[in-house]
Amino acid sequence: MKSLSHCAIALFLVTIPCAGQIRAGAAKRAITPDLKAHSPVFLAGFGHNRVATGIHDDLYARCLALSAGQRPLVICGVDSIGLFLDDTAKIRARIEADAVIAALHDHEAPDTMGLWGAAPGQSGINEAYNQYVVDRTVEAAREALRMLEPAVITLARAHEAGLDTFIDDDRPPVLHDTEIIALRAVSRSGKAIGTLINWANHPETVGSKNTLITADYCAYLYRHTEALLGGTAVFVNGAVGGMQSSLGATVKDPATGRPAEELSFRKAEVIGSRVAELAANGLKKARPASIDRIDFRERIVEIPMRNKNYVAASQSGVFKGRKNPTPDGATRTPVGYIRMSRQGKPHLEIALVPGELYPELSVGGIERYPEADFPDAPLEPALKQLMTAPYRMLFGLANDEIGYIIPRAEWDEQPPYLKGSAKRWYGEVNSVGPDAAPVITKAFSELVR
């Protein structure tokens, strides 16, 4: 196997300090598909030929812009299953700012990656819809930048035991990264601008039988946040690998005291509303955070594409020209880092990860299993533990989607399987390969330094 020192290739590194008065702006644009113009609309994330039959709620691209001087930063959360680097690069090229475009991995949104078409090997991408998402996200980002005004920033974290019950993890080790981290911007006059919430959970609560377009629990998170705090709510998902899902989780309905019905919009509402409430309560009690500098750093790495199905999908046109391997058989993807500080002291740090990170790579807790394919592999550092700010976010699917990012020591593609399982654990089938975690964590460690 090729050594990891040859797998991570730094193609560029950007560090842009922006010193000055903090300003903020926010905007959103609907990206709901037209079921006639974009027909057929294949829903993503479960199986093939799941065609949308109606719209339950609108999908959005939501953006928060921040600036502390020369070059602004814009963070956009997009109600999408995933956007490849090819599409996010189109968006970022049209924005006069450093930009993070993070899909929320919504399993009730159109297939923008090509993997869930009418049948295996048939792309589910509608190019007109993908371009619509690109154009509307650009519009939202540009408006957020135009709306920049002097602002007061508050930061908060929130956690309660109930958040862990919102997530089911069906693969060992059972771990969650359920802390909510939130940022709120209000104008100097007290007008609400926007709220950014970072949390980790798959938006797939209503399940595979649903055929209505929906942002799942995110729709209720937006609605409730904006009702409580005003302004524009922006959500970015976190470490959802492994598999951090609301499916199978027993969620107590506060209205009845009983578990919310499985695969229901009511269950999605309970989840989204509670996350919004916890974030809002924390922000209302928070003191202003003085920020005079924003640093944005990014590095392009190359990760060997060892998943033969990914290679076959690329070669057969499932991705429609996206995610083409390099001549060496690797995928190029960005790893990023954001730091917001005051006089050199960090207040908020953000890890930008191009896929679905396992939570043990976010908060720690990697375990060694004798049945693993690489049981003696070095343990990767937890990204949040590499940061030192009191508030630490992790954005999954940031500017790309490469699938699951699994600790190398837990990689288990060949029998015997972890903990004596009779069948293969889920995860590796949707991962680019076992080199992803070492390459990404190494690059991020260097960016933090």
pLDDT at 65 over 80: yes
Structure confidence at residue 243 (pLDDT): 86
Structure confidence at residue 20 (pLDDT): 63
Structure confidence at residue 288 (pLDDT): 95
pLDDT at 5 over 50: no
Q: Give the rounded percent of residues in the chain with a pLDDT score beyond 90.
A: 94
Please state, rounded to an integer, the average pLDDT across all residues of the chain.
Answer: 94
| Inter-axis angle of helices 127-146 and 85-93, nearest 10 | 40
Predicted confidence band of residue 12 (pLDDT cuts 50, 70, 90): very low
Q: pLDDT (tens digit, 9 = 90+) per residue, 67-125?
A: 998 899 999 999 999 999 999 999 999 999 999 999 999 999 999 999 999 999 999 99
Q: pLDDT (tens digit, 9 = 90+) per residue, 119-170?
A: 999 999 999 999 999 999 999 999 999 999 999 999 999 999 999 999 999 8
Q: pLDDT (tens digit, 9 = 90+) per residue, 165-207?
A: 999 998 999 999 999 999 999 999 999 999 999 999 999 999 9
Q: How far apart are the first and last CA of the chain?
A: 29
Tokens of 246: 């609301």
Predicted confidence band of residue 2 (pLDDT cuts 50, 70, 90): very low
Tokens of 305: 């594409």
What's the pTM value of the predicted model, to 2 decimals?
A: 0.95
Q: pLDDT (tens digit, 9 = 90+) per residue, 340-354?
A: 999 999 999 999 999
Q: What is the distance between the alpha carbons of residues 391 and 345, in angstroms, rounded to a whole number?
A: 12
Tell whether omega for the bond before 243 is within 30 degrees of 0, i.e. cis: yes
Q: pLDDT (tens digit, 9 = 90+) per residue, 205-249?
A: 999 999 999 999 999 999 999 999 999 999 999 999 988 999 999
Structure confidence at residue 70 (pLDDT): 82
pLDDT at 318 over 80: yes
In this prediction, residues 253-276 reach a mean pLDDT of: 98
pLDDT at 419 over 90: yes
Structure confidence at residue 14 (pLDDT): 40
Predicted confidence band of residue 18 (pLDDT cuts 50, 70, 90): very low
pLDDT at 57 over 70: yes
Q: Three-state SS string across the chain, please?
A: CCCHHHCCCCCCEEECCCECCCEEEEEEEECCCCCCCCCCCEECCCCCCCECCEECCCCEEEEEEEECCCCCEEEEEECCCCCCHHHHHHHHHCCCCEEEEEECCCCCCECCCCCCCCCCCCCCCCHHHHHHHHHHHHHHHHHHHHCCEEEEEEEEEECCHHHHHCCECCCCCCCCCCCEEEEEEEECCCCEEEEEEEECCECCCCCCCCCEECCCHHHHHHHHHHHHHCCEEEEEECCCCCCCECCCCCCECCCCCCECCCCCHHHHHHHHHHHHHHHHHHHHHCCECCCCEEEEEEEEEEEECCCHHHHHHHHHCCCCCCCCCCCCCEEEEEEEEEEEEECCEEEEEEEECCCEECHHHCCCCCCCCCCCCCCCCCCCCCHHHHCCCCEEEEECCECCCCEEECCHHHCCCCCCCHHHCCCCCCCHHHECCCCHHHHHHHHHHHHHC
The vertex-180 CA angle with 176 and 184, nearest 5°, equals 160
Half-sphere exposure of 242 (CA within 13 A, CB side): 29
Predicted confidence band of residue 283 (pLDDT cuts 50, 70, 90): very high
